[in-house]
Amino acid sequence: MPIARLPGARLAYAVHGSGDPVLLIPPAGTRMAVWSRFQVPALVRAGFRVITVENRGNEPDSATTPSTVIADYVDDTAAFVNVLDLAPCWLVGASLGAMIAQELTLGHPTLVRGAALVGTRCRTDLFRAKMARAQAARMTALDMAMPSELEILTQMAQLFSSGTLSDDRSAADWYEVIKAFPLRGPGPAAQYLATITEDRAAALKAIDRPCLVVGFSEDTLTPPAQCRETAEAIPGCRYLEIPACGHFGFLEQPDEVNRALVEFLLEAC
């Protein structure tokens, strides 16, 4: 796996296909492999060169502290785009990855052709700020022991729709995945804390690149209302809401999400 050595971090990455570059930025507490099964093949088939990258704090990097903020991840991503000579590239981000993408588009427009923002928001309300802090505290307080059943079920409830959780086969599969990859350590904790931001709606009005916001009807972490709020703040931004999906709707309904991503990228090219 190649490593990009940046001024503030060491980020693993992978490159797939050929064509115009599309950089995929993962959610907090998630590795770049989250894109591999569904989004990478779909975008490669559509004729794009797809680059997946780890966020700061994921192996092999350890450059995170409780004071790490979203600006640090934006700086990392800008440096990564420059080091790999990707500019201007398309951005696709989910959750924290989407928040990074929108701030990169705002602050470094020459690096970006456009951005698809999946499950994003432009501010953090009281409930979700407290949730992020509580989860981060738990990640740093526990060792790498097996997560409790309650911890696994709580995470599932935050990430998936009622339909997925009500399907025994899907629920069993996701239970085993989350059990095998518990959220632990300062890297994921810092990523969760970085999702706590001030209200950025007014700032996002300065974005001048094509953008798409994708929301999910049953998302409790970035509710559709907050996704719409972000889309309304960005001039000319399209909003698409996909039903019967939770926060990880890009894994629950990948065909619909991929169709939206490909259509957006091809139309905006």
Annotated catalytic residues are 95, 219, 247
d(CA 138, CA 135): 5
Contact 185, 62 (CB under 8 A): no
Cα dist. 208→120, 203, 239 in Å? 18, 12, 16
Full DSSP string of 49-92: EEEEEPPTTSTT-----TT--HHHHHHHHHHHHHHTT--SEEEE
Which segments of the chain are extended strands (E)? 3-5, 10-16, 20-25, 48-53, 89-94, 112-118, 211-216, 238-242
d(CA 156, CA 137): 19
| Cβ-based neighbour number of residue 154 at 10 Å | 15
Across the beta sheet with 20-25, what order do the strands follow?
Answer: 3-5, 10-16, 48-53, 20-25, 89-94, 112-118, 211-216, 238-242
Contact 205, 231 (CB under 8 A): no
Contact 31, 60 (CB under 8 A): no
